Structure 1
Amino acid sequence: MTLNCAVLDDHQDVALSMADWSSLGGSVEVRSVQEHFGSEEEVAAAVGDCEILVVMRERTPFPASLLDRLPRLRLLITSGMRNASIDLEAAARNGVTVCGTASNSEPPAELTWALILGLARHVVAESGALRDGGPWQSTVGADLHGRTLALLGLGRIGAKVAAVGRAFGMDVMAWSRNLTEERAAEHGVRRAGSLGELLEAGDFVSVHLQLGERTRGLIGAGELKRMRRTAYLVNTSRAAIVDQEALVAALREGWIAGAGADVFEEEPLPAGHPLRTAPNFLGLPHLGYVTRRNYEGYFGEAVEDIAAYLAGSPVRTLAVPS
């Protein structure tokens, strides 16, 4: 019997070219889905015939209500080894095995610097003016050397961002609830005593925390107002860590100099979302992990996950939290 497999949210239509799906032989028929489904009804209608689904991070959530509508589903593969939008208990209850893949931390760290540099040197505005015949040199850039890079989180990605900041000659400091003096010192970083201290000191504040109950809405209006009016905020982690309404207000009212983000609470970002027209905002369509090396790893290991499952020995399974 041939099993049906769909790769969801393959916006660039590259999933089938990034791995050798033919190695699965005739046992699996794979199709790529480029459009994003906005409702559970749309997902169920489009892929209800599938025994296998491959999903990109948290683009399409899989709560219990959706899993209950997919009785044929037996294997759900996510890029990365964490996906907060999959209800693992519901998956287990429905007999669905959930597997993951490796994920490199370098690409999101690199994109963080694309946003920081783009904001600091007004790259988009100056490039647009050059293309459109606008004014020659209309902005004055912000320096990195000698300025303070303030990191919320010093995990795998935050540590890589810190190393680049040090190479630029920046004073790097970090804070998170669990950050120790020893880890900060290990990465040549000063440990801030509190979130407020970090925000008040940072010229560039970059978010690298995991989203959870303690970090959801961590940066609200009060926190944004504690930042310097000349400071920039960058978020390549999870949108919900920063209150989106407060961020729009901060940009429109000049609480901060600008902001960059690669993550949004609703993706794709709706056409009329206020961030699309907010002043001094540099936004990208969640490209942090989108590189050839990452995609070849994701889809290559997805093929391995499928083969292992069909052989009766699933690998890289995501366990139900204890």
Structure 2
Amino acid sequence: MKIFFTAEYNQEQLKPLFEMGEVTLDGWATGLPKMPEAELMKKTKDADMLIVSYDEVTRNVIENAEKLKLIACTRSTPVNVDIKAAREKGIPVIYTPGRNSDSTAEFTIGLMLSIARNIPMSYKALKEGKFTGTAEDKKITKDGLIVDMIWDMDEHSPYIIFKGTELKGKTLGIVGYGSIGRRVGKIARAYGMELLIYDPFLCEIDIEEIGIQKAKSLVELMKDADFISCHMKVSPETKGIISREMIDLMKPTAYFINSSRGAILDEAALIDALREKRIAGAAFDVYATEPLAINHPYIGELDNVVITPHIAGATDDVLLNHTKQLVSDVRRFINGEKLLYEYR
């Protein structure tokens, strides 16, 4: 069994795969860039299995690999695999759902805290030398008082400029209550937040408990939530679901968070809302186009937004998780057992 492997992986968890076949590590798995189609076609012509993370498994690749029996993609959705072409040849495609759910959920809470408390903005200011003193500066405490270690208190103080808001007691609106959305909600509840959930594919009895309520509509959630966090895959139903009309419903004190996919949002409308200060702020890990253009308003213009370069799922733990998943399913495939993670 020839296994061509270009995925990210956990070295310890991958060891059993070498007992299942002749494994060739190449491409991203060896620190190289994403492999061009022509190169992937050439190198997989005689492969029985193809395991990738980001390489594009196109129809050309699939049809050229005449011995191919299984395709594995170590992502929560195998968007870089031509599923239709694979099915036409009877080749199952396995993937790794939930591999980065905890990492993304934790990162989402980090984005919320960052924008609510202006953490990146205050960090940047200090690194630029603002609000700082000299090594010779000494505070003199008057008789009868205890030493008070604070910055100077006036209208220019960082205490005033970077004053934010707590998460405790606020309503978090979660749009999409799947694997990641539920984890975000669980962490947010520990912070003392109330949850308002919009997910048309779940019944109230699957969601509601003390402190957690299902919104009757997306309109209700957009109007009532103090923080709005999106956790949806892109589909015809979700593309552009956070529209200009939805954004216009948000409170002026509300924050918008997106660590799912940029396509679910009308980015131009959100930029207008931030520019005109019609909402308090936003935090993003994903965008309409990636990478962000150097002249994007998020980078050079807006000061009420926190941005990161699509890294919510970038942890070593994710590699461990998806390596376990794919090795488990490859073993099941070889043994003729029902696959746990076949994409349907």
TM-score bracket, normalised by the shorter chain, equals 0.7 to 0.9
Unaligned segments of structure 2, at least 5 residues: 133-157
Q: Which residue of 1 aligns with 2:145?
A: none
CA contact (8 A) 2:96 2:341 kept: no
1:302 to 312, 318, 326: 326
Bigger shift: 62-71 or 106-115? 62-71
Q: Which residue of 2 aligns with 1:293?
A: 317
Q: Given residue 273 of structure 2, which amino acid in structure 1 is its aligned partner? A: A
Superposition deviation, residue 262 in structure 1:
2.0
Bigger shift: 79-88 or 256-265? 79-88
SS at match of 2:113: helix
1:89 to 75, 84, 89: 84
CA contact (8 A) 2:234 2:261 kept: yes
Q: Which residue of 2 aligns with 1:101?
A: 96
SS at match of 1:20: helix
Is 1:157 matched up with 2:180? yes
Q: Given residue 145 of structure 1, which amino acid in structure 2 is its aligned partner? A: K
CA distance 1:183–1:307, change in 2 (3 Å): closer
1:263 to 261, 270, 286: 286
Runs of at least 4 residues of structure 1 off by over 6 A?
none
Separation in structure 1 between the aligned mates of residue 194 and residue 309 of structure 2, nearest angstrom: 29
Q: Which residue of 1 aligns with 2:107?
A: 111
Taking the TM superposition and a 5 Å limit, the aligned residue runs for 1:244-283 are 244-277=267-300, 279=302, 280-283=304-307
Q: Which residue of 1 aligns with 2:13?
A: 19
Q: Given residue 24 of structure 1, which amino acid in structure 2 is its aligned partner? A: F
Q: Which residue of 1 aligns with 2:52?
A: 55
Superposition deviation, residue 193 in structure 1:
2.1
CA contact (8 A) 1:153 1:176 kept: yes
Superposition deviation, residue 6 in structure 1:
1.9
Q: Which residue of 2 aligns with 1:46?
A: 39
CA contact (8 A) 2:173 2:225 kept: yes
Which one has a bigger Cα radius of gyration? 2
CA contact (8 A) 2:68 2:91 kept: yes
1:188 to 199, 203, 211: 211
SS at match of 2:240: coil
CA contact (8 A) 1:63 1:86 kept: yes
Q: Given residue 79 of structure 1, which amino acid in structure 2 is its aligned partner? A: T
> What is the CA deviation profile of residues 251-283 of structure 1, one whole-angstrom value per residue up to 9, with x for unaligned ones?
333332221122234444455554443512222
Separation in structure 1 between the aligned mates of residue 342 and residue 183 of structure 2, nearest angstrom: 26
CA contact (8 A) 2:173 2:226 kept: yes
Separation in structure 2 between the aligned mates of residue 71 and residue 114 of structure 1, nearest angstrom: 46
Q: Given residue 221 of structure 1, which amino acid in structure 2 is its aligned partner? A: R
Separation in structure 2 between the aligned mates of residue 305 and residue 183 of structure 1, nearest angstrom: 29
> What is the CA deviation profile of residues 152-172 of structure 1, one whole-angstrom value per residue up to 9, with x for unaligned ones?
122332222223323222232
Percent identical among aligned pairs is: 29
Superposition deviation, residue 135 in structure 1:
2.1
Superposition deviation, residue 22 in structure 1:
7.2
CA distance 1:46–1:255, change in 2 (3 Å): farther
Separation in structure 2 between the aligned mates of residue 88 and residue 222 of structure 1, nearest angstrom: 34
Superposition deviation, residue 2 in structure 1:
5.3
**Aligned residue-pair number:** 308
- Once superposed, what is the RMSD of the aligned Cα atoms? 3.1
Bigger shift: 208-217 or 163-172? 163-172
Q: Given residue 172 of structure 2, which amino acid in structure 1 is its aligned partner? A: L
TM-score scaled by structure 2?
A: 0.76
